[in-house]
Structures are given as structure tokens and as C-alpha cells.
Amino acid sequence: MNMPAQKRFLVSTDLSMVPSIKTDVLVIGSGVAGLSAALAAAETSQVMLVTKSELAESASRYAQGGIAAALNDDDSVEMHVNDTLAAGQGICKKDAVGLLVSEGIERCRELIDWGTPFDREDGHIATTMEGAHSCRRILHADGDATGRAIVNTLMDKVRQHRNIRIQEGYFTIDLLHQENECFGALLQDRSYGRLLQVETGATVVATGGLGRLYRETTNPDVATGDGYAICFRAGAVLEDMEFVQFHPTTLYVAGAPRFLISESVRGEGAYLLNCRGERFMNKYAEQGELAPRDVVSRSILREMHETGSTHVFLDLRHLGEELTSRRFPNIKMICKDFNIDIDRELVPVRPAAHYMMGGVQTDLDAKTTVARLFAAGEVACTGVHGANRLASNSLLEGIVFGHRAGVNAVACAKESKARVMPVIKMLRSHAERVAPLDLDDTVMSLKSLTWRDLGVFRNEGQLENAMQTIARWAKYVMNEQFQHPRGYEVQNMLTLANVIAKAAYIRTESRGAHQRIDFPQTSKDWERHVALSIHDFESDEDSLF
């Protein structure tokens, strides 16, 4: 059973009273992809950069381990490509991977030239090892704060650029679209609820991930999947949405956020131990602690089940205080806040939702299936990650395809002709309800459902239950107009949970991060992609279309 699709912004009521502004290129999102897109587009055009929170708040900022690039003499583009393809388990698009790795070198050198404070050893850029890489190629900054360092570098340039207008605290309710063409967005001021229409020659969606759909996640509060949902409602294809990556090691302490313990910790030699104090990864993979993320996550959960424990442990005690202080100062500080001394005590960890390998289908130029609409970063599916993302390729994808999105959006905007803005259908006001919706309860219920039924292990019964349950909730949540963006976030979360469930239901095999316990084998017949658009839900008898 599928969720009623949302009818929110089709033709009906004129919003002519809503203020409207124009810009050449609209960029939605302020992670590394959005910032890179804005900088590239601003070289020749006027850009409006919109973010629903503060400019600095994005998943990119919390990326610890680093950014992968074949810069060392003992490395090569071919080796990096091969590692990426191996991690992706037959689903990667080879041309996209080749572009990612080759252009990634140029983009990383650009970051270096712009003053990004990457760590150095003997005057050279330092690199480290991470799981499933064949050599040390991970650039890092401030030990374990690479994302923050890169974001700060890009933000400084964005703030200084005279062609970029920054609009903080504006939530994108929906894209303005008609006949498979996008020509702007409808925004809402998070502080006052005021609406604003933005008319543009081209739009770049770079809104990051959707980890907040899950009870256990490393993602910040802003990662509610809004970009996927607005593109989906505009008619764009979502691809590979069954491939949700679960990071193996997040801090597991009552009252603590699910703080990411970077893969580079294991890259530097940390061990995984079960509750009996035994190393266990060699039972599951030849690479041990440096196996791909999907393998490590499943191994941890199996070990937890076998030992009846809620977590396992990371052991850094043998690494030495000098190394942990230099390489992992942020991790050390967070653990200390919860009275864990990583140099003398074991760190309790377990898997959590971390990254969406799928997303809005794009080509090598970041174009979606909707005219004048581009996507970049985690929200996009370029095909570089396949069924399981190689560690530290995410920041790389953001700067490479963010840059390409900005350049190509400018070319598109210059060719775009003026269009009459469409009329917009707004639904009934939340205030008309006799019994107000409890959105917090809806979100908590959804998070529990996704963690149980759309988690590391899935089966047909769980997926059917998820779709049926979401359909019931959607009947009273989806067809609603809200006074605050939180309501629209909940609608987006319901939309995406249903898409993930349907994609996972369709793929009757296990591959990479997608594990069907009723179809445990990997099938050669499934070396293909699951692509879904809103039109695939129109035949449902409950559909609102």
C-alpha cells in the first residue's frame, strides 16, 4: 500500500499578493555543495543562496574524517576509481566516478589555494587511511574537523562575493513548477511565517540528507530531507533510495547525541571489541576494522545480538595520547563531556543512519529530469556512491558536483525565457482543525517505524507494514497547510519514508547498505537502479492526485 501523494502546489488559487523577487540562479542549501554552486555561479551571474537555518548549519560542517583525493605519489586516479567502484558493489556509474575522482583533485587543490587549513606533516599535506581505501588519501583538517574547516573557507568566500545574496532562516516550501519545468521556489520565513516567491532562471537544490527520518542518526536537526521531497513533488526522479548508509560507530551513551566517531579512528588503528572485550571483526571480514561501512555495521549488529548487548566498544587506548590529541581533538572533547577518557577507557558505539547514497537523479552536469532544475551533494544521485559510499567521498562529491551545478545553472539561466508565474494551490489552514495535530508525536512515531522497518535489515513484512502505516498517517497530515515550516518538514519526512520503503520493497536482493533478510543473496539481475517519480504513486487508489 502506498502513501497518498501530495497535491499541494498544483493549479488553483492565485498567490499574487505574495511578494516576489528575481535572481539569475537560486541555490537552496549551504553545505559544501550549495556553497560551491553559489561561488561557481556568482562568477558571471547574480545568485541568491537560501538556507532554512543559519548559513553555517549543515551536515557538511559535522564531517570529521576528511576528504578523499589522489594527491600522493603512491596513489592514482585509477586506484581511487577502483576503490570507489568496489565499495559501490556494481551500482556505481563509472563515468560519474571517473569525473568525481579526476576533477576532485583540481577542486581539492583549489581549497588548498583558498587557505583551507588541512593538517600537514613535514611541510606536506597529511593524509590518513580509512576503510575500503587501498592507500592513505584522506586529507583532514584540525585533526577531526575537516567539514568545519572546508565550510568555513567556502563561507568566507561566499560572504565576500558581491554577486551572492544570502537569505538565512527561509524554508523552501516547494518549487514553482509547471509542465516539467522549474522556475523558482516558494519560501517561508521561519521567524515570522511570511511567504516569499523567488523567480529564477535556474535552481540548484543542495539541501543535504535525510538522516532525521531515523531514531538513531548522526545528522543535524536540519536533515529532514526537504530537497528530495520538493524535487519529487515537482516531478523529478528519485533513484537508489533504498541505499541508506548506516555509520558503524556512533557514541552510544544515555542522554548523548548520536555523535559520530569517525572512520579515521579505525584507520589509525583503533579496535572494535564486543561486551566480552573480544575483537570480532575478523570473524566477518578479511579487512577487519577497515572493511566497508555496510559490512562493519552489520557485523556490529550481529555481535550485539549474539552477546545480548545494546552496543560494542571502540578501543583507542593503545594509540597513545599524542596521536589522539593531534588527530581526534573534537572526538576526545565530546567523549570527555560524558566522562569517557578515550586514552584509558573503552568508547561505547553502535550504528546509526548517516548518509543517503540515492537521491534526485542527475546527469554529469547536475541536471535533474526537470528542466531548469539542478541538484548537487547528498540530495543528488550522481551514481558515484552506488550501493555503499566509500568513506570521505561525500565532501568530494559536494565540491565537484556543486561546482558543476553552479556553472551549468548559469548557462541554463542565460538560455531561459521569461515565464508567467503559475497560480498556486494552498491547502486548508491548520487552524481549521477541531483537534490540532501533534507533530512531535508524529515525528517520534515515524522515527521508531523507520528504525525498525527501514533499518540495516529489512524484509517484505516490515516494508509492507511501513507503507501501510505511513499511508494511514498521511491521510490526516499530508493534505494540510501549516503556519510554520515544521509541518512541511513532517510532510517531507513522510513522503521520503514511503519512497525508501517502496524502493527497498522493489529491490528483492541484498546489496551494499540494502539488506533484505528474506533475499540475502546479491543477484546479477539487480545490477541496475530503482528509479521512482511521483507518477509511480498515481495509480494508488488513495492518491490525492
| Catalytic residue (one of 233, 258, 266, 293) | 293
SS3 187: strand
d(Cα 13, Cα 425) in Å, to the nearest integer?
Answer: 5
Rg of the Cα atoms in the chain = 22
d(Cα 268, Cα 247) in Å, to the nearest integer?
Answer: 17
Does the active-site annotation cover 528? no
d(Cα 152, Cα 71) in Å, to the nearest integer?
Answer: 22
Q: Pull the grid cell for residue 390.
A: 566509500
d(Cα 426, Cα 479) in Å, to the nearest integer?
Answer: 10
Contact residues for 242 (Cβ-Cβ < 8 A; gap 6+): 358, 500, 503, 504, 506, 507, 514, 530
Name beta bridge partners: 315. 271
Beta strands in 252-379 (DSSP E): 271-273, 312-315, 347-356, 359-361, 373-375
Long-range contacts of 272-279 (CB under 8 A, 24+ apart): 272/296, 272/300, 272/312, 272/313, 272/314, 272/315, 273/312, 273/313, 273/314, 273/315, 273/346, 274/303, 274/304, 274/306, 274/307, 274/309, 274/312, 274/313, 275/307, 275/309, 275/311, 275/312, 275/313, 276/307
List, by residue number, the catalytic residues: 293
